[in-house]
Chains A and B, each alone.
Chain A
């Protein structure tokens, strides 16, 4: 089947914060840019971010980008690449002030400067004392950022393809990326978009977990596209968890609840945190609390039919305190857990929040991968990745709060800038290969022709349960090995799905089937990489290998879809201009 075709300088898959920032840089320079999004751009998941954007503006106390750099490297448990981290922390003030000039309604100090909030993990003078570094717009930082960038892009004549789903990358015979195949939801028709360069900005894949704070659209499509095109996925074993998401829903209950005196109970009604953290108890750090909760569940002391959560009790605080100090929490509990915390405990479970790994890139956003037997890292011509779907890697094994929105701005802009130069030396479109759309068309044909097969919802549930149980916070070799086997069975089932509705127009079942193929790829990468990494570092906590092992594991994992194979590459410990921060034991 010959598909119709459109031609652009650059196609950007994703209209969240990172995609819009890159688009702006290109569109304002006069390039012909197309941004694709499954949903209206300002409804991208970036809208959920509330906390803020980290930048060492020093508006509240003295601050320095080098301190921010130190906090980020320490936070990453030394798995972050120090060149990219220096680049990001040095650029932070610039991108925040730019956003201010674009019209972002930041909170302000009485003297007119941007107000900065405190946030965990940010410090003055290399860990000496906390510093206020987070720039926010009330509790709508992500929302304000998306709206500001979107308006600006419209003004710069960036072209939007809304309610389009990108299916696959097109690579030519030399391995260069020459565009994408995308599906228009309204008609169900696929089309070829030929481009000199392609940027993946599809966000995270948090929906691989049963309990996730991510919106339903976060299905890792860009990761699936990259993996199918032979690009490895980096550090996929590292996922950040929040200890208290509402069980079965994922909506977050803030740490503040435990600060006010809320306590965690297991099925015996025991306040189990007393055993894990005798001093701090329920107020221990996020990772300690998450791991303890998951261990209670794994050891059979979970609550509910499936014994898959624990309880957060706050009725002892009394109606007055709850209504006065935690009104938002009562609202959430009533709406999403169907309990009134004034009388009953809230069912909670460690909940996946952020994906540290992703498509490997350098700090220009160019996708890099080992090439040939030599294994040296090389740029894949024409392909860029930015935002949560990319792994630069500035977050390493654990992201510092507020560094993600910063990552979107810095590397979105950096990719745009780099491309403006790159397009000068690569002014021509490369030819499309003859089989340009074959992979996508085969995927669609399989779904359109399958008379019977696995049910999408059932396979998706099996995947989420498997990942939640086997690649949760509390990990052991045995759990992970079983998980790898199970996820391979799930992947096999995902190759045999069928949908009843064969129509083309707005066929959501068809879209969900295509999304599931991407999710399952990410799930397999996560389990395989986690099983192989026999150490604990950042978000990967192994019960059978409790310590960080810099001798053997100070390296990034690279997972390939073909053969579900793993490879590794060294961490870049060399910053751009300053001295290296050598790995140290991480204590807070």
Chain B
């Protein structure tokens, strides 16, 4: 799998290493299923999510809160379903 990944995908994979174990686990599942097929818009949205503090990201990923920005919804749905 690794060899076929682009550098951009590798970068996203590393940035998905988080301070909270819960986020590591959730993002690992998401990446295993979706990383190689994300659209450019989804990559942008995912990048924005990765900028969030872990606890806020966890609240979104667990569906405890909704995102402020509608552009994040499709990727967030994939994260929640993974």
Contact = CB atoms under 8 A, between A and B. Distances in A.
Nearest to A39: B17
A499 B2 CA distance: 9
Contact of B53 (A39, A42, A217): A42
Nearest to B9: A506
Interface in B42-82: 53-55, 62
B25 A39 contact: no
30 contacts: A39-B18, A42-B19, A43-B18, A43-B19, A43-B53, A43-B54, A47-B20, A47-B53, A143-B53, A143-B54, A147-B53, A186-B11, A214-B21, A215-B19, A215-B21, A216-B24, A217-B17, A249-B25, A250-B21, A499-B2, A500-B3, A501-B2, A501-B5, A503-B7, A506-B10, A506-B11, A506-B14, A508-B2, A508-B14, A509-B2
A335 interface: yes
B16 to A, nearest CB: 9
B10 A507 contact: yes
Contacts of A511: 14
Interface in A242-267: 249-251
Contact of A48 (B10, B20, B25): B20
Given A140-B55, A143-B54, A508-B10, A44 B19 contact: yes
A422 interface: no
Size bracket of the B interface? 20 to 34
Interface string B1-35: 01101010011011101111111111000000000
A163 B21 contact: no
Nearest to A248: B25
A212 B25 CA distance: 12
A518 to B, nearest CB: 15
Interface in A102-127: none
Contacts of A509: 2
Q: Is the interface of B mostly helix, strand, loop or mixed?
A: helix
A251 B2 contact: no
Nearest first, the 4 closest Cβ-Cβ pairs linking A and B are A47-B19, A506-B10, A43-B19, A506-B11
A501 B3 contact: yes
Interface of B: 2-3, 5, 7, 10-11, 13-15, 17-26, 53-55, 62
Contacts of B11: 186, 506
A505 B7 CA distance: 7
A346 to B, nearest CB: 15
B19 A39 contact: yes
Contacts of A185: 14
A214 B14 CA distance: 17
Nearest to A142: B19
Nearest to A499: B2
A217 B19 CA distance: 8
Contact of B62 (A47, A215, A217, A331): A331
Contacts of B62: 331, 335
A350 B2 CA distance: 32
A140 B58 CA distance: 12
